[in-house]
């Protein structure tokens, strides 16, 4: 046996993106057979709120998580002269389905005790968390906290020059930097003394010996001048 499929080409159609309540993702094995079964169940749920022909209503469930699908409304005829009338019929059927989706009237039972609500992704997003008041309020509080924190960081970065305490801190840092630069400049302008300019101990000893020798010679000369002349006449 060989599987055969027939393809029909349409000039125009209407489509809607669908999303589901989060509990559907818990039972999503992400296999083609499961997606086909869920697509048929969604189609039956949509037919309960719309009188659109079943053979012209198609549902394709996308692979992956979170679970999403696309609803296709195709016209009965594909003739150019009837296009305006077909477009009006599609628009009317689409409006009816969108209204039912926005009012949470489209739902199906996945298993006993597990009901899944179908949403219109383009207008009404499926909730990402539990819809109970406690969880929704905490999630909203977290979202507002993140938004206010980001706004505060942006305002501080944008208007940091106009905030007094930031200006004072910046001026103090600038003054400290200028003082450090001035002290470095002053230390660089002081005269440098090399080791060669200092007199070594050997040179000091030589100079001291020379001074002593000179003093000794001077004393000897003075003593010779004071010796009396004892020659007899």
Give kind and range of the element (H or E) at residue 16: strand 14-20
How far apart (Å, rounded) are the C-alpha atoms in residues 50 and 72?
14
How confident is the model at residue 210, as a pLDDT?
75
User: Which comes out higher in pLDDT, residue 137 or 190?
Assistant: 137
Mean pLDDT over 177-195 rounds to 56
**For the chain, domain boundaries:** 14-120, 197-223
Name the β-bridge partners of 120.
Answer: 18
Confidence of residue 181 (pLDDT cuts 50, 70, 90): low
Mean pLDDT over 17-33 rounds to 90
How far apart (Å, rounded) are the C-alpha atoms in residues 107 and 119?
9
Which of 69-73, 78-82, 150-154, 170-174 is most confident?
69-73
**pLDDT surpasses 50 at 25:** yes
How confident is the model at residue 167, as a pLDDT?
56
Mean pLDDT over 41-62 rounds to 88
């Amino acid at each position: 046996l060989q599987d055969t499929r027939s393809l029909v080409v349409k000039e125009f159609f209407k489509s809607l993106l669908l999303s589901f309540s989060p509990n559907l993702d818990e039972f999503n094995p992400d296999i083609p057979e499961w997606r086909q079964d869920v697509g048929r169940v969604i189609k039956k749920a949509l037919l309960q709120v719309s009188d659109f022909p079943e053979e012209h209503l198609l549902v394709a469930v996308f692979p992956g998580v979170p679970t999403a699908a696309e609803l296709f409304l195709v016209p009965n005829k594909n003739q150019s002269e009837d296009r305006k009338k077909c477009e009006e019929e599609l628009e009317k059927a689409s409006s009816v389905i969108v209204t039912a989706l926005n009012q949470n009237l489209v739902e199906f039972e996945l298993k006993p005790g597990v009901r899944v609500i179908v949403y219109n992704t383009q207008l009404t997003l499926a909730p990402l968390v539990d819809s109970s008041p406690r969880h929704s309020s905490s999630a909203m509080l977290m979202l507002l906290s993140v938004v206010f924190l980001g706004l505060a960081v942006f305002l501080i970065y944008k208007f940091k020059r106009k905030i007094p305490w930031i200006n004072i801190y910046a001026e103090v840092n600038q003054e400290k930097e200028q003082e450090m630069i001035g002290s470095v400049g002053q230390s660089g302008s002081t005269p440098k003394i090399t080791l060669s300019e200092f007199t070594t101990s050997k040179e000091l000893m030589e100079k001291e010996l020379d001074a002593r020798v000179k003093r000794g010679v001077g004393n000897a000369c003075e003593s010779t001048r004071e010796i009396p002349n004892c020659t007899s006449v």
